[in-house]
Amino acid sequence: MSHKSMNLTLHVWRQKNAKCDGKFVEYKADGVSPDMSFLEMLDVVNEGLIAKGEEPVEFDHDCREGICGTCSMVINGRPHGPKERTTTCQLHMRSFKDGDSITLEPWRAEAFPVVRDLVVDRSAFDRIIAVGGFITAPAGSPQDANSLPISKENADLSMDAASCIGCGACVAACPNASAMLFVSAKISHLGLLPQGQPERYLRVRDMIAQMDAEAFGTCTNHGECETACPKGIKMENIARMNRDFIKASLTFRHATIGGGGA
Amino acid sequence: MELNAHIPDGPIQQKWEKHQFDSKLVNPANKRKYRIIMVGSGLAGGAGAASLAELGYNVDCFCYQDSPRRAHSIAAQGGINAAKNYRNDGDSVFRLFYDTVKGGDFRAREANVYRLAEVSNNIIDQSVANGVPFAREYGGLLDNRSFGGAQVSRTFYARGQTGQQLLIGAYQALERQVGLGTVKMYNRHEMLELIMVDGIAKGIVTRDMVTGAIESHIADAVILSTGGYGNVFYLSTNAMGCNGTAVWRAYKKGAAFGNPCFTQIHPTCIPVTGDHQSKLTLMSESLRNDGRVWVPKKKEDCKRVPAEIKEDDRDYYLERKYPSFGNLAPRDISSRAAKQVCDEGRGVGETGLGVYLDFSDAIRRLGKNKIEEKYGNLFEMYERITDENPYETPMRIYPAVHYTMGGLWVDYNLMSTIPGLFVAGEANFSDHGANRLGASALMQGLADGYFVLPATVSNYLAGLKPGVRPAADHPAVVETETAVKTRVEKLLSIKGSKSPTHFHRELGKIMWEYCGMARNEAGLKKALELIPKLREEFWKDVRVVGENESLNQSLEMAARVADFLELGELMCLDALQRRESCGGHFREEFQTEDGEALRDDENFCHTAVWEYKGEGQTPVRHIESLTFEYVHLATRSYK
């Protein structure tokens, strides 16, 4: 551990709300310890602003251990900053050096409107899950958990996809602001499990339809999403989703009209 | 105040089944005429909101986060217990019940704990059905690991992200209901007050954290699943936003508070590095399956590189003191043991507040790959934070505030002392006594949400006339809403000189010093002088910049800190009056010769239940006596 403190210059996007225009504002961050997390550095800057009677920089954050997916900022042009497979809250100041200039922006995507400063509205992701990102299994109905063996390989692949924290870095990194990595991670998580089979094709159709309705762009294979993803979600999920989507489109039938029982 | 736990009659094995049968039902056509408010969207709240909506009720669900998927249940790492006995190692519902009562140091209600153990198996079934990708063996069946305080392997896990996967399972079930229109989700909304009409909970007042709009929501029943209040200590493993406001507001409206001083200090967290520290990071207890805890035998070795310290000069103190449980001794005991060796001057790291958690034996025995498979993400997280590689050098860990066993008092139905107000998950006091065992929080959250609330809330609603709720302009509603607006304006108008965080940090220092891992009468009395002074200063000198009508995180923080400044005082009062040591509550005056907790069953075999008596009044301490018919009171030993 090094104890040399650093002096940094921040260029932070300030925007009062979705309707106002925003602009970059420069702040000094002096005496920064390399052991601080990035967000702790911002805490110190904010405490300084409050002491001067200025409004602090608003940013989203919660668990600060890289799992809740709340923190979201573009640091020097990269979602979650320079370190691979690391959320902003897990980034430490030892990744920077004395005298550095750091630019901070919110996620930029039409589907993620700015709420204030570095905070954006990601509820589009919830709406995509709400149309099909689930398995219908009301509480109380299931059978014994071990009555359905699942190969370790599939369980592990499903778990890899399920590790997605829904932060939206994939969208922020994509030149088209596509949500395909996020959506495909859910398609893989549930589609690789036997429990997920009954709704597999319905799910992919409905989720993709909602994704399009939310104004996310399409995938043109840049691969920026995979690079930016703090949880290492792979683009092979997008390939799996596309396969399922083609099959779903070819085999789609309109629901038959049901009738009441006796 | 009359306390009736409403424990059903009959043998413990039949209570829950009998109670469900005796509960009143609501006709399916009438269910949609009821409205339920759920505050919180974690395991208890998310699963509860989804399950109640599946039954046909209308549910309004509120969370302060930008999405229900971010609730702090997501951060739980290690696992979830269930009495499946898939390992054939002698587990049973009764053994899980027994371990939980004993682990809680005989300060939990037997009937509730038995029910928890009973539904534990359904939770695993339910979660698998929802698509939770638990770890599996090559044969395709579910894998298990061991956890502290148990000698069987009953913990189900999904790598080191079990909480995340269980929460996503519940979140998906919740979103399905949102899609169906039965749940209306209010993200970025914080509950600031409970609405009471004629002594019954009928709604809440919330602040829209984006627009600042303060609004009332009316319902037939209100459920708080708002988590614990560990952030009263400022530094804890809780998320930054976790707060005690919802339960505290309810307490001040008449919901009694059970055992507020029962706090869990988790033994394996990454040590503090400096004043800038904003939170503490847990390293899953599951690491103690393979990691060995030690400090140097000699003080002068503490600053040496650990690899240079010879085997003979190391004190594997948990293995030495608790040979039968060793490194898997329960959390309270392990934390205290770490504090003791550090107090003796044998702590490691720059601050001397740390002990080693060493994997070198396990890596030699199992190989690096096996360890990576089991704990890879935890090792990565450790390295990211500390810049040290735990495959090569032992981790340094130290205890940190993690969980609050105390919470709003509830009866067997999870209803508080306010009719119509239910409390689930960590927010209630019910199942863990004075110490929670590892992998039991996820179990309790989901038990309450998936299985208990649907039955008990239905029973309550069946007694109400469908579709009859107070009007939005009812005087009680208007009055409550006005009180919230006044309070927010007050916070903004003080325009003092110190930030809300300053006061939070000061409160945290007082709480950790005097109401932390070890407590004593003089210290608690000191805290009871310091906290009111700090609170007074807060209301004179806090500086909240900005306005109500936009996203304003310092305003949110100020309102939460204001409540912590009152809650902390009640915790100290409770700790002072409980003149015994039990579980996580260690009073230095009450210990055995070898430094173990000394319970006083004659005078304290009860839950302390605190009743609010008004501003400036001392709250009244009631008791709910605990009787142990099935697990006999005994000194808890892990030796």
The yes-or-no answer to whether A6-116 and A122-138+145-251 have a common fold is no
Cβ atoms within 10 Å of B21's Cβ, excluding its own: 9
Q: What is the pLDDT of residue A256?
A: 60
Q: Shortest CA distance to B608 belongs to which of B565, B568, B576, B632?
A: B576
For residue A255, what pLDDT is reported? 67
pLDDT in tens, B186-245: 999 999 999 999 999 999 999 999 999 999 999 999 999 999 999 999 999 999 999 999
Structural domain boundaries of chain B?
A: 32-262+405-461, 267-400, 486-601
Is the ipTM higher than 0.90? The answer is yes
CA dist B201 to A221, B204, B314, B415, Å? 54, 8, 57, 11
pLDDT band at B148 (very low <50, low <70, confident <90, very high): confident
From residue B532, alpha-carbon distances to B10, B215, B516, B564, B621 in Å are 47, 31, 18, 11, 19
Q: How far from chain centre, in Å, is Cα A107?
A: 10
B115: pLDDT strictly greater than 60? yes
What's the pLDDT band for B284 if we cut at 50, 70, 90?
confident
Q: Which token pair is A243?
A: 């396969």
Quick one: pLDDT at residue A69?
A: 98
DSSP-assigned states of every residue in A52-121: TTPPPPP---SSSSS-S-----EETTEET-SSTT--GGG-BGGGS-TT-EEEEE----TTS-EEETTEE-
Confidence of residue A259 (pLDDT cuts 50, 70, 90): low
Angstrom distances, CA of residue A202 to CA of A198, B238, B371: 9, 38, 39
What confidence score (pLDDT) does residue A80 get?
98
In chain A, the residue whose alpha carbon lies closest to the alpha carbon of B178 is: A130
- List all residues of chain B from 464 to 503 with a beta carbon under 8 Å from chain A: 499, 501-502
**Residues 113-142 of chain B whose Cβ lies under 8 A from any Cβ of chain A:** 122, 124-131, 133-142
Q: Which fold has domain B267-400?
A: Flavocytochrome C3; Chain A, domain 1 (3.90.700)
Which residues 183-222 of A are in CB contact (within 8 Å) with B?
A: 189-190, 193, 195-196
CB contact (8 A) between residue A16 and residue B282 = no
Name the 3-class secondary structure at A176.
Answer: coil
- Predicted local confidence at residue B375, as pLDDT: 86
Task: Output the pLDDT for position B416.
Answer: 98
Domain B267-400 matches domain B486-601 at the CATH topology level? no
Q: Which CATH superfamily is domain B32-262+405-461 in?
A: FAD/NAD(P)-binding domain (3.50.50.60)
Is B535 in the active site?
no
Kindly give, in sequence order, each residue whose CB lies less than 8 Å from that of residue A60, ignoring residues fewer than 6 positions away.
A70, A71, A72, A118, A119, A120, B66
Of B381, B214, B367, nearest in space to B283 by CA: B381
Mean pLDDT to the nearest integer, B144-166: 91
Angle between helices B475-493 and B553-577 (to 10 degrees): 100
Q: How many CA atoms lie within 13 A of B438 on its CB side?
A: 35
- H/E element, B162: helix B162-180
Is-contact B107 B627, C-beta < 8 A?
no
Nearest CA in chain B to A58: B553
**Fold annotation for A122-138+145-251:** Fumarate Reductase Iron-sulfur Protein; Chain B, domain 2 (1.10.1060)
Q: In chain B, helix, strand, coil percent, each to 5? A: 40, 15, 40
Task: Please indicate whether residue B456 or residue B1 has the higher confidence score (pLDDT).
Answer: B456
A166 Cβ under 8 Å from any chain B Cβ: yes
Only one residue has tokens 């459920």, namely B223
pLDDT, tens only, B307-358: 999 999 999 999 999 999 999 998 899 999 999 999 999 999 989 999 999 9
Judge whether residue A254 has pLDDT over 80.
Answer: no
pLDDT at B285: 84
**A49, A67, A151 member nearest B140 (Cβ):** A151
Q: How does the average pLDDT of chain B come out, rounded?
A: 96
Strands B221-224 vs B314-315: parallel, antiparallel or unpaired: unpaired
Q: Where are the domains of chain A?
A: 6-116, 122-138+145-251
Closest Cβ opposite residue B75 in set A44, A63, A90: A63
d(CA B459, CA B556): 36
Q: What is the pLDDT of residues A106-130, one digit of tens each?
A: 999 999 999 999 999 999 999 999 9
Q: What CATH number should be reported for the domain whose range is A6-116?
A: 3.10.20.30
Banded model confidence at residue B552, pLDDT cuts 50, 70, 90: very high
Does the domain spanning B486-601 belong to CATH 1.20.58.100? Answer: yes
Is the pLDDT confidence value at A261 over 80? Answer: no
